[in-house]
Amino acid sequence: MTNVIAVANQKGGVGKTTTCANLGIGLAQEGKKVLLVDSDPQSSMTISLGNPQPDQLPVTLATIMGKMLDEEPIDPGEGLLHHDEGVDLMPANIELSGMEVSLVNAMSREKILKQYLDGVKRQYDYVLLDCMPSLGMLTVNALAAADSVLIPVQAQYLPAKGLEQLLQTINKVRRQINPKLKIDGILLTMVDSRTNYSKEISTLLRDTYGSKLKVFDVEIPHSVRAAEISAEGRSIFAHDPKGKVAEAYRELTKEVLKIEKQRQKHKSEQLR
């Protein structure tokens, strides 16, 4: 069983890409086969995994989705890049922004990404989708292809407030396109534990959503070291393995694996 997880929030700068890359590499360190998909034309994940000039890549997600739209054949493994920390990457570049426009008039436009992933995901335990900071067609494609959503939220008032809009979109996708879509949980990022403000937002989020949604126990601390990694093309585990951010992402990896275990258990109980 492959798990497809969309890492989504329409607010930019909340740590989506950092979470997607480090969770992916964390899962790979636990022996899982992982594919990371950059579905953001800004190509932050492509760059942070060691491809500083994404516009020069011959094949990216835009190429693949274009082929899906034109019903052209796609070779196995086409466009996939292998990262030396044990994950595969489907990169993105600015061409993907044109895809938003192409999708508008396409047949079954919400499911183009899903159709591609259905063809490749069998080789992986986890597929993580790094979504763009908007609720446009590409994000809807990611939500339509995903089994679940992980929502990083910065421990500040406005990002926390923007959560409602995202939850509405998720519910809409669930009603109209992907009834099986679940929410893995809300992940607090860039938490400055020295300030009362961060603690207040954390408490507010847990009080507001905790009864309806899982809020991950682990919080990702604010750290300068975490900001440095994108320039290096490596994960936080390679850059600062003993630091507090690496430790937090290890904990997140364990929580994600635990959710999966509980779901499998629940499924096998239902089958009995």
Mean pLDDT of 199-216: 89
Q: Look at the pTM and tell me if it is higher than 0.85.
A: yes
Q: In this structure, what token pair is assigned to residue 13?
A: 């700068």
Q: How confident is the model at residue 128 (pLDDT cuts 50, 70, 90)?
A: very high
Q: In angstroms, rounded to a whole number, what is the distance separating the alpha carbons of residues 30 and 106?
A: 39
Residue 118: is its pLDDT beyond 70?
yes
Residue 185 Rama label (left phi>0; alpha psi -120 to 50; beta): left
Query: Average pLDDT, whole number, for the chain?
Result: 93
Residue 228: is its pLDDT beyond 80?
no
Query: Does domain 3-271 match CATH 3.40.50.1110?
Result: no
Q: In angstroms, rounded to a whole number, what is the distance separating the alpha carbons of residues 155 and 158?
A: 9
Domain-by-domain residue ranges, the chain? 3-271
How buried is residue 74: exposed, middle or buried, by Cβ count under 10 Å (0-12/13-18/19+)? middle
Residue 78: is its pLDDT beyond 90?
yes
**Percent of the chain scoring above 90 in pLDDT:** 72
Tokens 């008039």 sit on residue: 105
Q: In this structure, what token pair is assigned to residue 135?
A: 């609720």
234-250 burial, b if ≥16 CB within 10 A, otherwise e? bbbbebbeebbbbbbbb
Answer whether 93's CB lies under 8 Å from 53's CB. no
Task: With H, G, I as helix, E, B as strand and everything else as coil, classify residue 81.
Answer: strand
Kindly report which listed range (50-59, 116-125, 139-148, 187-196) carries the lowest average pLDDT score.
187-196
Mean pLDDT of 96-107: 89
Q: In angstroms, rounded to a whole number, what is the distance separating the alpha carbons of residues 67 and 170?
A: 27
Q: In angstroms, rounded to a whole number, what is the distance separating the alpha carbons of residues 192 and 168?
A: 28
Kindly report which listed range (32-46, 70-84, 188-202, 252-266) carries the lowest average pLDDT score.
188-202
Q: How confident is the model at residue 84 (pLDDT cuts 50, 70, 90)?
A: very high
pLDDT for residue 41: 95
Mean pLDDT of 121-127: 97
- Please write the tens of the pLDDT for every residue from 27-67: 999 999 999 999 999 999 999 999 999 999 999 999 999 99
Phi and psi torsions of 152, nearest 5°: -80, 135
Q: How confident is the model at residue 104 (pLDDT cuts 50, 70, 90)?
A: confident
Residue 132: is its pLDDT beyond 70?
yes
pLDDT for residue 269: 87
- Please write the tens of the pLDDT for every residue from 137-181: 999 999 999 999 999 998 877 767 778 889 999 999 999 999 999
Q: Kindly give, in sequence order, each residue whose CB lies less than 8 Å from that of residue 95, ignoring residues fewer than 6 positions away.
A: 41, 55, 60, 62, 63
Mean pLDDT of 208-212: 88
pLDDT for residue 159: 66
Q: 87 has which bridge partners?
A: 34, 83
Q: In this structure, what token pair is assigned to residue 223?
A: 């750290």
Q: Which of 155, 165, 122, 153 is nearest to 35 (CA)?
A: 122
